[in-house]
Structure 1
């Protein structure tokens, strides 16, 4: 009898009532993150690409430059989208170029990485949706006159979450 009571108590504690509350709270957090992302995209004037779309572009051999904006040692070296170049950007909005925030690299260094073709497809990413390093990288590409700029908001977390192969540096 005691085990039936214990089982009933467990079932009641795990009831949909608490799940509903949690579900609604999670939705508020999801909405907040989604609206923040949309506002960054609108403000930045770039487009976005999903994990599956980026993987298809890579698999199809689409010509593009992929830029990982995470720190080299603690992130890029350990895991990055295959073929991505690394260029550090800070998390807070970088409205003016600050070489201290870009690992000592200049605006000219970034433009050299992007190349002369202003119509080139450029995809910029960081760690995950809430990370704004990719926003800064995409905004600066747009500021420098590049027209075909995409932000990959899911970043390396979504890439790994989709179980796609990652690049590493030995």
Structure 2
């Protein structure tokens, strides 16, 4: 009995030792799971807002520690530089030479360790003024007046997908936009924003992307702020702008230098023979707009014509292109003429706009006849 009692005690001691050893082993593994330590110098939104300027001061760098794709390209704090924490060692050449420069790291919010890790790495390199904006990008976007910046890759991908967005060039029209712009972009120079803001869509939830001449250009940021003040809720800025687009996507779209359409006798009208020639030889060179009612349009129209009833034209006038002539047609020249003058009032910058003045009869097969106005 005594031997059994001793054996039982030894067994209990052995089991206890094994449990303690297992616990110790588990505790030893814990640091690997919780190796992240918050950086010692954390700043708030007010501090970041104070230092985000356009352009940024030479001795200040805002650094996004999140992955470049998909996070940074689809939205980042304006003027932030992308140095993903996973690539930090390979990208230290992007850091300023001055070790006293202010470095502000951020990532995806309070649960994100990337900015803290990168900040510690920067400090280890000898940088003396390193901060972490721990609340990061989510906190930035929680402020109604704030907007994100996007990159050329994101803009191109949205264009390729056919995303319903309005791309706005905030640079001066004649000196810059007309010399080259991103395809599909409309021109609303920031200095004439109030004059041309009617080109913006009535839907305040529509995606608006503003751009101008690069990171030193303030125009797109000013226009974006104005759009937000107007109530638009989905506003972004392609801050790297036109130069980055050219570098990424190649040659920009220049405003087409369209051959002037031969005019008719009445102001804004197109010559009848010219009209026939264009439809026969190059119908794609113009935008032909049938402004009759939808029922009239369905009964027969010209093959290349689209239908925008004159009653709906004002709301859609911003969609008219600036890179090719626009020609309005109807049955008698009355509604097409009204459309021409509406464009003159609402989009005076469109110069290649005409209407067919005369009696136009269209067959179901797309054949047509034109008679001179009485």
Q: After TM superposition, give the deviation of residue 44 of structure 1 in Å.
A: 4.3
| TM-score normalised by the chain length of structure 1 | 0.65
1:106 maps to which residue? Answer: 194
Q: What is the SS of the residue equivalent to 1:167?
A: coil
Q: Distance in 2 between matches of 1:65 and 1:130?
A: 23
Q: Distance in 1 between matches of 2:162 and 2:224?
A: 22
Q: What is the SS of the residue equivalent to 2:175?
A: helix
Runs of 4+ with >2 A deviation: 41-44
**Greater Cα radius of gyration, structure 1 or 2:** 2
Q: Distance in 1 between matches of 2:250 and 2:145?
A: 28
Runs (5+) with no aligned partner, structure 1 = 1-19, 33-37, 90-100
Number of equivalences: 128
2:245 maps to which residue? Answer: 159
Runs (5+) with no aligned partner, structure 2 = 1-92, 105-136, 258-374
**Does residue 146 in structure 1 map to residue 214 in structure 2?**
no
Q: Distance in 2 between matches of 1:124 and 1:70?
A: 10
**Does residue 61 in structure 1 map to residue 162 in structure 2?**
yes
Q: Distance in 2 between matches of 1:71 and 1:115?
A: 21
Q: What is the SS of the residue equivalent to 2:236?
A: strand
1:76 maps to which residue? Answer: 177
Structure with more relative contact order (C-alpha pairs < 8 Å, separation 6 or more): 1
Q: After TM superposition, give the deviation of residue 113 of structure 1 in Å.
A: 1.3
Q: Distance in 1 between matches of 2:218 and 2:247?
A: 19
1:93 maps to which residue? Answer: none
Q: Distance in 2 between matches of 1:57 and 1:163?
A: 13
Greater helix percent: which structure?
1
For residues 118-159 of structure 1, the C-alpha deviation after alignment (integer angstroms, 9 at most, x for no partner) is 100000000101211000110011000000000000100000
Q: Distance in 2 between matches of 1:59 and 1:127?
A: 23
| TM-score normalised by the chain length of structure 2 | 0.31
1:24 maps to which residue? Answer: 97
